[in-house]
Chains A and B, each alone.
Chain A
C-alpha cells in the first residue's frame, strides 16, 4: 500500500485546481492561508448571481462590452482565402482584454474587504487595467514591472502613474514579466492582507481558473456574434499566447465545438534557440514556475531560461496550465510567429483595416496571414484581437528606424 499524504493530511482541497497533471499551487507556506482564503472567496462569488450582475453592469457601462466583431474585408481580399473576423478586445476600455480580468478580480477584492492591490505587468496592459480598476473602486495600487519592460513600454508606465498607481521597477533576473511576478509575490508574502491581482491564467490555483472565468466573456460574445454574422461557427480560432489569458478566454466557448480548430500563437522571437524566444511548447517541457506546473522554458538543470519577444506581453517562460492540458489533449494546437512576422502583421493590419494591433495580438494576425491563403473562401478564421497597438508605436518605430 502506498502512503497517501493527502489522506494523512485530510486536506479536501488537495490537488484542487488541476488541469490533468498541470496546475496546482506551489507556494510558500506564508501564502497558503491567503491563497486558501482567495479560493474560498472566489468559490462563494462564483455562486453569487449578484456578483456577476455587478460585473456585467460595469462591463456594459464602463468597459464597453460587448466588444464588436469586425469582418476584415480588405485583409480577407488581400490574402485571398478564408474570411477573417476580428474580435475587437482592442476596443475595450484601456485598450486590451486585460480589463475583463482586472475588473472581475477588483470586484472580488472589494468583496473580500481588501484595500491594497498588488499586480505585475509585462507590456503594461495589465498594469494599466489594474490601475484603472483601482481608481474606479478606490483602492491603493502597486504595480511591479521589469525595468526593461518599463523602457520599451513608457507610455503605459506614464498611464499607470496618471491613474494613481505606484509603479515599482524590478531590476533582478531578466528584468521582464517573470521577475515582476517574483517581486509581486514577495510583496504578497510580506503583505498577505493585500490582494494580488495576477494578470494572466497563470500562477497558483485558483488564478488560472478564475482568470479564465473572467476572460471567457470574450468567447461567449464572439461565438454568439459570429453565429449572428455568418450563421455558422468559425473553422479556426486564433489567439496569441503569453500567459494565455486572452487565448483561453476566447477558446473556452468553443471547446465542445468539435469542428472548430483552436490555435494559440506563441512568440518565436529571433528563432527557437535558448534565450531567443518564448515558445514554451516548441522549446520547453513540464516544470514548476511561480506556483504552477506547466510547460516551462528551462535548461537541463531546471533553471528558468531567459526569453525574448518583441512584444513584452508574450515574453514569459511559462504558459498557463490549462493550455498545457489542451496541448497534450490535442484540443488546441500551438504554433509560433517570430518578431519579423509580427511586425509585418502589425503594419499589414494597420494599412488594410485601419486597426493598429498590439504587438502581442499581431502574432495571431501573423498566423492568419499564413493560414488564410491555404483555406477556402467559405471558411472562417476568427482572431482574438486582444489589444490595440498605441503602446507599441515607439518600439515599432525604433525597429523600423523611424524617429518619432
Chain B
C-alpha cells in the first residue's frame, strides 16, 4: 500500500479529515520549506503538496503566481525541489509529500528520471495541472514504474462518464477542483460543491481531496462532510506573505492549527 493510501486509510478509521497544506518550494526564501514543513506537520498537516515553480502557471490565481515568481527569483530549480523532499525526509517529516508543478519543467528533466529521482528522494506522488489523462501516457507509466501515485483532477465541468474513466486510472486520491476557476482564497465555498462531490463519489471509492478556494476552518469542516481531505494553498501563502519577517513559520503553523480546529 502506498504511503498516500495508507494515510487516508488511517485517517478514515480515525474519522479525521486530511489536511493538505501547499508549500511552494523556495517561497518565501530559498530553504523555507525545510522549516515550514516540519512545523506544519507538528501543527496537524496530514500530507503536503509541494509546489515546483513555473514561469507560466496558467491554472493559478494571483497569489500562487506571485509565490512562483518569487521562488524562481530565489533561483529554485527542479533539482532543488527534489533535494528538498530528500532533506525533509532526512529531517524526519513522515507524512506523504506530493510535488505539484506544470508539465514543461518535468518533461525537460525527463519523466522517467523525474519519477526515479522523486521516488528515491521520498516523494509519494505527482500532481501536474496541465496534464490531462489524454496526454499523460508517458508520465503515468513512469510514475507507475517507480511507485508514485499520479494524481488526476476532476472538475465541476467534468461529465460523469469522464469522471468514471479518470477514476479507473487514478491512485492515491482524486483531486477535486472545488470551483470553476483558478486557484485563490475565496470567502465562500461553491454552493454546488456537495452535489459535485456526490457525483464523483458515485464513480469511485478513492479518497476525494478538495482544492481551490479553501481558506478557513469552516471550509475544511464543511469539505470534511463530503470528502476525505482539503488542500489549502493560496490562503496559507497569504498568511506567509503577510507575516512580519522571521515570523512566517510560527504564523503558518498557527494558521494550520486553526484550520485543524
Partner-B contacts on A (CB < 8 A):
2-6, 8-11, 13-15, 24-34, 172-173, 178-179, 181-182, 185-186, 189-192, 287-291, 296, 298, 300-304
Interface residues of B in 134-156 (CB under 8 A from A): 134-137, 140-141, 144, 152-156
Closest to B157 in A: A33
Sorting the interface of chain B by its residue count into under 10, 10 to 19, 20 to 34 or 35 or more gives 35 or more
Cβ proximity bits B148-187 to A, threshold 8 Å, 1 near / 0 not? 0000111111110010010011000000010011100000
Q: Which of A27, A28, A287 contacts B107 (CB 8 A)?
A: A287
| Residues in A neighbouring B108, C-beta threshold 8 A | 287, 298, 300-302
Closest to B175 in A: A29
A114 to B: closest C-beta gap in Å: 15
> How many A-B contacts are there with CB distance less than 8 Å?
139
Closest to B137 in A: A5
Q: List 29 A-B contacts (CB under 8 A).
A: A4-B137, A5-B137, A5-B140, A6-B134, A6-B137, A14-B134, A25-B135, A26-B130, A26-B135, A28-B58, A28-B59, A28-B130, A28-B132, A28-B155, A29-B132, A29-B152, A29-B177, A30-B153, A32-B132, A172-B69, A173-B69, A186-B59, A189-B58, A189-B180, A192-B180, A289-B104, A301-B108, A304-B56, A304-B104
Q: Does B190 contact A (CB under 8 A)?
A: no
Cβ proximity bits B60-74 to A, threshold 8 Å, 1 near / 0 not? 011001000100100
B187 to A: closest C-beta gap in Å: 16
Contact, CB under 8 Å: B56 / A189: no
B108 to A: closest C-beta gap in Å: 3
Closest to B105 in A: A302
Contact, CB under 8 Å: B130 / A288: yes
Contact A192:B157 (CB < 8 A) given known A11-B133, A13-B134, A186-B61: yes
Contact, CB under 8 Å: A26 / B158: no
What is the CA–CA distance of A24 and B135 in the complex, to the nearest angstrom? 7
Q: Does B43 contact A (CB under 8 A)?
A: no
Q: Does B194 contact A (CB under 8 A)?
A: no
Contact, CB under 8 Å: B104 / A8: no
Closest to A14 in B: B134
| Residues in B neighbouring A296, C-beta threshold 8 A | 104
What is the CA–CA distance of A195 and B60 in the complex, to the nearest angstrom? 20
Contact, CB under 8 Å: B165 / A9: yes
Q: Which of A10, A33, A287, A298 contacts B158 (CB 8 A)?
A: A33
| Residues in B neighbouring A4, C-beta threshold 8 A | 137
B101 to A: closest C-beta gap in Å: 9
Contact, CB under 8 Å: A301 / B133: no
What is the CA–CA distance of A186 and B54 in the complex, to the nearest angstrom? 15
B162 to A: closest C-beta gap in Å: 7
